[in-house]
Chains A and B, each alone.
Chain A
Amino acid sequence: MIRKVSGAKQIAAIIKKDIIAELRTKEMVVSMFLFVLLVMVAFKYAFGDSESFSDYAGGLLWIAFLFTALLGLNRSFVHEKDEGCLEGLLLAPVDRPNIFFGKMAGNFMFISIVEIITVPIYMILFKLSIEGSIALFISAIVLSNIGISTVGTLLSTVSINTKMRDMLLPLIFLPVILPVLAAAVVSTGGIMAGVAGEKLANVFSAMKLLIAYDILFLLVAYALYDFVIGE
């Protein structure tokens, strides 16, 4: 029981530390936000005045989010590794999964903040709207973010422990996260278009896939983190 209380405290301390550092430097959220805006402007150039843009709206949104998340995920462990902090953290009596949950929660939060700011901007810029249920739309985004931050935290820990460091992350992160991309595009795109009937069923099966993915990868991360972060 005592162990559990201190575990929760450790997770909270890791999250708090990341928030303090982020509030001070603002490097993660600001650079992620600017990056996503730039990508959106790039879309405008790439697609011109295409009438059928709304068909791709969900897909483009998630491509932008995924690359933005990559940017943030890389930063998140560079700080830990730079001054040997990770070594100090490993030497403390902390259960490894607690380090994972702390870092994952921080990443989830930063990615979500950027998305909360950018989704309305995206809608305005491209004259889009959400025809379906907004609650459903938000749940689809949250489910996708859990998947992205879980797998992202796990794999950025892998990549930071290699010679290639942040160069490796996209190569191992993108193929693992592709199912989330597909499910996120199908669900958010469908909800934005306000689909019904068979297509709505497809939205729900995409969200079921997201739920299964999140649960399974949280378990995988819990089981593997000990081996991934150090011996």
Chain B
Amino acid sequence: MRPVIPYVTAALLFGLGGYGVLRRRNAVLVLMAVELMLNAVNLVLVTADTTVRAVLPHSGQVFALFVIVLAAAEIGVGLAIVLQLYRLRASVTVDDVPLAERSSEGAAR
């Protein structure tokens, strides 16, 4: 097995995910691109498990499982935020999210 093949696959997937995070305006599509990046990291971990003989066997695969759990938690909270944003503003465009408006709104109330 040539480890360079999955490693290069993972690097390209990570680049695609970064491109998607910066390019997309729809929040759900941004989350999909984040999933691509997380999966690239998983592929690196699993491949490293085959190439590096660690003291503890299969550490890379255990870490990959942990990353999958983290991704599940992230997507749950992320989608809750996105749906709440949609309920408030009727749009999920990340460009339109007001980052500084909250304090003035609170003062007006």
Asked if A pairs with B, the answer is: no
